[in-house]
């Protein structure tokens, strides 16, 4: 039975590989929950998984058994011509139905549980999808930011989700399964992070050219840190001291095309609403749909030619379309990185 031995060896290798792959760092792993919502979802998954494993072993076992036991043994095999068995038919209709009914009970319970507003003080966050970044607004706190959502750990948060253009989907697998952002509607997703930490999220509904480049992060903080962050966000941008490179950058920024799309509170003409609010850009660790780390090199590349490094990006190329010089871009990058 060499074939069986090969199959066995293959299986062992497969399991080994599986274990090896599971030990790596998986920031989007839905089965590594970091909050009560994802936990309930994972629990249900495991429940059904083990039932499915049992059914799988039973049915595939019967199949393999039948293949071995009832293989043709001679040329004139003439098996009895059995046409059916009513009792068996009833049995294998009713048993799976009962099994499914059993699974349905916790499922329905969890559906209603996750849809209801959690007890306690819920923080409201409005998230608006854009091709291909996330606008984040805290309506009760007056904060407006993008791509990085700060929340207090251990407190339920209501994510009120809508979209400005096409359908997107909000997913932070370690905190909660996805919920869609649909233009003209608002969906609410309740999430909660048990511990402080950074949890990665991404868009999970195909939304065009840069669907794969639309990520975000949820940063859960102790409530004192969160409050400090809110206070920082509420301040206006400070003007850089005159004569510095940053001041030069502000000059180009506030007289160029940038202000048509971007807001920097404290800079009079910069009130554009199309792109992300940049008032505290430098307080964020990533930008452009959270796909680039925020540093001088990346920001310079972005200002030089955004659509080249992020397909379809709405921001025009600084060099090709806006006619900026490399010096101007250097100054603007310095200015933007000063917006803490």
Partner 1 sequence: MASVAVTRPSFFRRPRATTGLAAWLTTVDHKRIGILYGATAFVFFLLGGIEALLLRIQLAQPNGAFLDADTYNQVFTMHGLTMIFLVVMPLSSAFFNYLIPLQIGARDVAFPRLNAFSYWVFLVGGIFLYSSFFLGGAPNGGWFGYAPLSSGEGFLPGTGMTYYSIGLQIVGVASLASAVNFIVTILNERAPGMSLMRMPVFTWMTLVVSFLLLFAMPVIAIALFELGFDRLFGTLFFNPAAGGDALLWQHLFWLFGHPEVYILILPAMGIVSEVLPTFSRKPLFGYAAVVFSGIAIGFMGWGVWAHHMFTTGLGPVANTAFALSTMFIAVPTGVKIFNWLGTMWGGSIRFTSPMLFAIGFVAMFIIGGLSGVTHAIVPSDFQQQDTYYVVAHFHYVLFGGAIFGLFSGAYYWLPKVTGRVLSEGLGKLHFWLMLIGFNLTFAPMHWLGLQGMPRRYYTYPEEAGWGFWNLIETVGSFVIAASILVFMVNLVRSMSRGREAGADPWDARTLEWSIPSPPPHYNFAEIPDVRHRDELWHRKYAEDERGRPVPVVAGAEHHDEADDEEEHPDIHMPDPSYFPLLAALGLPVIGYGLIYFWPVAVVGGLITLAGLFGWSLEPVAEE
Of residues 163 through 222, those in contact with partner 1 by CB under 8 A are 165-167, 169, 171, 173, 176-180, 182-185, 187, 202-213
| Residue number with CB closer to partner 1 (4 or 71) | 71
The nearest distance, CB 187 to partner 1, in angstroms, is: 4
Closest to partner 1 by CB, 4 or 112: 112
Binding residues for partner 1, total number by CB under 8 A: 91
**Binding residues among 320-339 for partner 1 as defined by CB under 8 A:** none
Contact 339, 278 (CB under 8 A): yes
C-alpha angle 314-316-318 in degrees, rounded to nearest 5: 150
Q: Which of residues 265-284 bind partner 1 (CB under 8 A)?
A: none
What's the burial of 314, exposed, middle or buried (CB within 10 Å: 0-12/13-18/19+)?
middle
Window 31-90: residues binding partner 1 (CB under 8 A):
31, 38, 40-42, 44-45, 48-49, 52, 55-56, 59-60, 62-63, 66-67, 70-73, 77-85, 88-89
CA–CA separation, 336 and 340 (whole Å): 9
Q: Which of residues 90-119 bind partner 1 (CB under 8 A)?
A: 92-93, 96-97, 100, 103-104, 107-108, 110-112, 114-115
Task: Collect all residues with Cβ–Cβ distance below 8 Å to 272 and sequence separation of at least 6.
Answer: 258, 259, 260, 261, 262, 263
- The gap from C-alpha 197 to its chain's centroid, in whole angstroms, comes to 15
Cβ neighbors of 197 (< 8 A, separation 6 or more) are 34, 153, 219, 220
CA distances from 136 to 33, 302, 304 (A): 23, 21, 26
Give the range of 162-170, 232-240, 259-267, 298-306 binding partner 1 by CB under 8 A.
162-170
In whole angstroms, the minimum distance from the beta carbon of 81 to partner 1 comes to: 5
* Shortest CB 337 distance to partner 1, Å: 23
Residues 305, 312: contact at Cβ < 8 Å?
no
CB of 280 to partner 1, least distance (A): 25
Give the number of other Cβ atoms within 10 Å of residue 32's Cβ.
12
Nearer to partner 1, 228 or 274 (CB): 274
């Amino acid at each position: 039975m060499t074939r069986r031995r090969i199959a066995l060896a293959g299986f062992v290798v497969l399991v080994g590989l599986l274990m090896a792959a599971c030990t790596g760092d998986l920031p989007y792993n839905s089965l590594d929950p970091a909050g009560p919502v994802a936990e309930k979802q994972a629990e249900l998954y495991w429940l059904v998984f083990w039932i499915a494993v049992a059914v799988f072993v039973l049915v595939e076992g019967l199949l393999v058994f039948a293949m071995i036991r009832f293989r043709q043994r001679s040329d004139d095999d003439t098996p009895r011509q059995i046409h059916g068995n009513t009792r068996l038919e009833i049995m294998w209709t009713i048993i799976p139905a009962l099994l499914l009914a059993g699974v349905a009970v916790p499922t329905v319970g969890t559906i209603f549980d996750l849809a209801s507003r959690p007890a306690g003080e819920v923080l409201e966050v409005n998230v608006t999808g854009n091709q291909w970044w996330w606008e984040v607004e805290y309506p009760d706190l007056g904060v407006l930011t993008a791509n990085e959502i700060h929340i207090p750990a251990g407190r339920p948060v209501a994510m009120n989700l809508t979209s400005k253009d096409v359908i997107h989907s909000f997913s932070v697998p370690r905190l909660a399964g996805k919920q869609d952002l649909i233009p003209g509607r608002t969906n609410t997703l309740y999430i909660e992070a048990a511990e402080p930490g950074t949890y990665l999220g991404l868009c999970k509904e195909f939304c065009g050219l840069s669907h794969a480049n639309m990520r975000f992060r949820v940063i859960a903080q102790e409530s004192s840190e969160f409050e400090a962050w809110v206070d920082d966000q509420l301040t206006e941008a400070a003007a850089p001291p005159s004569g510095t490179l940053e001041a030069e950058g502000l000059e180009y920024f506030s007289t160029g095309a940038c202000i048509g799309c971007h807001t920097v509170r404290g800079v009079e003409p910069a009130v554009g609403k199309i792109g992300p609010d940049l008032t505290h850009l430098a307080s964020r660790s990533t930008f452009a749909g959270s796909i680039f780390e925020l540093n001088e090199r990346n920001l310079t590349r972005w200002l030089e030619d955004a659509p080249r490094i992020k397909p379809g990006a709405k921001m025009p190329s600084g060099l090709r379309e806006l006619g900026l010089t490399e010096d101007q871009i250097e100054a603007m990058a310095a200015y933007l990185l000063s917006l803490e």
